[in-house]
């Protein structure tokens, strides 16, 4: 799914990254624990989160995450926006909750990244 399509289906607001709206995203990953993002993200994902702390941008940079959706209508600080802009990371915000935003994207064809571990019993 292209980033501009993600913004459209979420009725999102583009905060920065206007030059990258045609980039393709393969998977979505919804999480507020950056340690889980570091442990489980392996592919070209869109990160959905309610966090607006600089650690989100640092984590995204480490994993080459190209786009972040901030949920619940939270407004990131100018510092966070500038960090994303410098690193060419798209920032979008939506009024949807994390659960709803994830569901809307899934309903529109964006799959979740599923990483399994042999030691986890389901």
pLDDT in tens, 50-66: 999 999 999 999 999 99
CATH superfamily, domain 3-108, is HprK N-terminal domain-like (3.40.1390.20)
pLDDT band, very low/low/confident/very high, at 114 (cuts 50, 70, 90): confident
Q: Enter the pTM of the model.
A: 0.92
CB proximity list for 74: less than 8 A, separation 6 or greater:
50, 52, 93
pLDDT band, very low/low/confident/very high, at 121 (cuts 50, 70, 90): low
CB proximity list for 122: less than 8 A, separation 6 or greater:
none
pLDDT band, very low/low/confident/very high, at 116 (cuts 50, 70, 90): low
């Amino acid at each position: 799914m292209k980033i501009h399509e993600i913004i459209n289906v979420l009725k999102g607001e583009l905060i920065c990254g206007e030059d990258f709206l045609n980039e393709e995203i393969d998977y979505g990953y919804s999480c507020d624990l950056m340690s889980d993002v570091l442990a489980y993200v392996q592919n070209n994902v869109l990160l959905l989160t309610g966090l607006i702390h600089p650690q989100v941008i640092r984590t995204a940079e480490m994993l080459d995450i190209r786009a972040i959706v901030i949920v619940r209508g939270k407004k990131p600080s100018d510092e966070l926006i500038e960090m994303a802009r410098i690193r060419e990371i798209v920032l979008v915000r939506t009024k949807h909750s994390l659960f709803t935003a994830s569901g809307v994207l899934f309903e529109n064809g964006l799959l979740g990244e599923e990483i399994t571990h042999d030691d986890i019993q389901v």
